Amino acid sequence: MTLIDGKALSNKIQQEIEEEVNKLKQEGIIPGLAVILVGNDPASHTYVNMKEKACERVGFYSIVHKMPETISQEEIIETIKMMNNNSRIDGILVQLPLPKHIDTNKILEVIDPAKDVDGFHPYNMGRVVEGLDSFAPCTPIGVMEMFKEYNINLQGKDICVVGASNIVGKPMAALLVNANATVTITHIYTKDLASHTKKADIIIVGAGKPNLITADMVKEGAIVIDIGINRLSDGRLVGDVDFENVSKKCSFITPVPGGVGPMTIAMLLKNTLTAAKKRRNK
As annotated, the active-site residues are 51, 95, 118
Contact 275, 242 (CB under 8 A): no
DSSP single-letter state for residue 113: G
Helical packing angle, 6-25 and 42-58, nearest 10°: 50
214, 185 contact by CB (below 8 A): no
Cis peptide before 262 (omega within 30 of 0): no
Are 43 and 96 within 8 A, CB to CB? no
User: In the chain, what is the straight-line distance between the N-terminal and C-terminal CA atoms, in Å?
Assistant: 41
Residue 173 in contact with residue 185, Cβ under 8 Å?
A: yes
Torsion of CA 213, 219, 221, 227, to 10 degrees: -20
CA distance 167 to 244: 27
Cα-Cα-Cα-Cα dihedral of 117, 51, 179, 198, to 10°?
-140
Q: Which DSSP state fits 95?
A: P
Cα-based angle 246, 250, 252 (whole degrees, multiple of 5): 120
Is the bond preceding 68 in cis, omega lying within 30 degrees of 0? no
Closest by CA position to 161, among listed 180, 177, 138, 142: 177
